Amino acid sequence: MNKQFKIIFITMMLVAAVFLSGCTDSDSAKESESSDKITEKVDPVAEKENNSDDKSMSVAEDIGTNGANESAPVYSLNVTNTTSNITFNTTSNTTSNTTSNTTSYSDSNVSLPTRHSGSGHSSSSSSSQTSDSDDTIELTDIAQRTVAIPTSENIKKISCLHPIPTYMTWRLASEKLNSIDMVFNANPRLVPEDANATLSGLPVTGVYFKGMNQEQMLALDPDVIVSMTKDPNLDQEQIDYAAPVVAISKDNLTDYEQSFRLMGKILGNEEESNELADYWNNSVKKVTDITSTIPEDQRVKVYYASHDGPLSTVGSLTVMSSIIDLAGGVDLYDTNTTLTSTQKVDEHLVVNIEQVLLWNPDVIITKTETEKNTILNDTQWQSINAVKNGHVYAAPRWESLDGIQSIMGLMWTAEKLHPDKVAFDFNNETREFYSEFYLYDNITDEQIAETVT
């Protein structure tokens, strides 16, 4: 009985072994077939990587907001020929829009539109095209934001939300100017006739401080949008206008130098932008080499009447205030510590006559001839030193304390504050400036002396 049981047990074990062997062969065949299919699917990727000559590809993924006004984090995927070397880097809180197509991936309730680098913009197409990361660059703008933009050769269209970058784009790469802003369009300018003809034919947009038309900006489809550090909606505009938004600055007169250099990198004209930046820096130095030696007790007290009438002035962190300081003066709010951070950058601060009387400035500079005459003819101002001594001046139209012309405004202001110490051939300086910055060689002495009525 024991012998028969052993025979039956051995027979059952042999049958089980044969059965299990067959199952294993079947699973191996299936696994091999599946592996072949996977290899077939990934071979094109491997082939593309092998042909990339070790150039890294950049793929930016941002989390879609489905219309919500939320900033979307951007992730960079850097892929090299070594497939194990794949890293994800969070690059900024703004959305890169140097894209050609958008492909959506779903993960639970989150939609991930993957934007591939290229010279175009995102679209609703489900196809995707990738290109080398050489098509985009990352830069840090003057607002200290990291922004991914197309390389300069891939930037064909630029729109600006302020007249300063509009001017810089015109000067450095006029063929890339996609539109002009309403302030730049409304202000008179001294440029060659053919330039005016070109500028007048471009679409006119809003500016960040007066309002923008989102639909218009989307229709213009710029490759890059340039605004200013004072723009409070930079990150929202990054979402609304479907293009990278870069910020430059005019908060201080010296900021223009850095802004020129940055615009040169964006536009692909660093040679001329650096020349203009150097000219700017040298012009500031020409003044400050003199004014920096003036003792504190000899610096002139100045009141600047701004855009909105005699009782409107500017904060201490504005380009006008910085010009007064560099020219050897002390502005009304230079020593005032009660201003909020918002008021310090405000160019439309309302003051009362009692504040001005208490300040008792030695020099008053007005924006217009009308404001100057109002002050001179108002009895409330008659006891102020500047009025009593005839030191109330209307700033010249073409050498103002704002805009690109403000570098000439510095020279003009320094001469008015310290005529015994500062003396330039102002007319020749102005002619050279307009030739360099506006490519305009026909400015007259009468125009140089002209003021805004």
- Judged against a pLDDT cut of 80, whether residue 414 lies above it is answered with yes
Express each pLDDT in 62-76 by its tens digit. 222 222 332 322 222
What is the 3 state secondary structure string of 333-398? CCCCCCCCHHHHCCCCEECCHHHHHHHCCCEEEECCHHHHHHHHHCHHHCCCHHHHCCCEEECEHH
What is the Cα–Cα distance from 348 to 338, expressed in whole angstroms? 16
Alpha helical stretches, state H, 292-339: 319-326
Non-local (6+) Cβ contacts of 193 within 8 A are none
> pLDDT by residue (tens digit) across 175-234?
999 999 999 999 989 999 999 888 999 999 999 999 999 999 999 999 999 999 999 999
How would residue 14 be classed by pLDDT, with cut points 50, 70 and 90?
low
- How far apart CA 244 and CA 147 sit, in angstroms, is 7
Q: What is the pLDDT of residue 337?
A: 73
Instruction: Find out whether 305 and 363 touch, Cβ atoms under 8 Å.
Output: no
Higher pLDDT, 116 or 133: 133
* pTM exceeding 0.85: no
User: What integer pLDDT is reported at residue 89 of this predicted model?
Assistant: 33
Which class is domain 140-281? alpha beta
What is the distance between the alpha carbons of residues 440 and 453, in angstroms, rounded to a whole number?
23
CA distances from 409 to 287, 327, 334, 422 (A): 11, 10, 19, 14
Question: Fold identical between 140-281 and 294-449?
Answer: yes
> Could you tell me what percent of the chain has a pLDDT over 90?
65
- Cβ-defined contacts of 230-234 (< 8 Å, 24+): 230/345, 231/161, 231/162, 233/208, 234/143, 234/145
Average pLDDT over residues 148-171: 96
pLDDT tens digits, 345-365: 999 999 999 999 999 999 999
Q: Average pLDDT, stretch 396-405? A: 95
Residue 400 contacts residue 409 (beta carbons within 8 Å): yes
CATH fold of 294-449: Rossmann fold (3.40.50)
CA distance 108 to 216: 35
Burial class (CB in 10 A: 0-12, 13-18, 19+), 403: buried
**In whole angstroms, how far apart are CA 89 and each of 116, 205, 239, 330, 381?**
15, 35, 20, 47, 61
pLDDT score recorded for residue 246: 98
Domain residue extents for the chain: 57-136, 140-281, 294-449
Structure confidence at residue 133 as a pLDDT band (50, 70, 90): low
CA-closest candidate to residue 142, choices 156, 119, 162: 162
Distance CA 260, CA 263 (A): 5
CA–CA distance, 50 with 286 (Å, rounded to integer): 57
Between 30 and 272, where is the model more confident?
A: 272
Distance between start and end Cα atoms, the chain: 127
**pLDDT, the chain, mean:** 78
**pLDDT at position 327:** 98
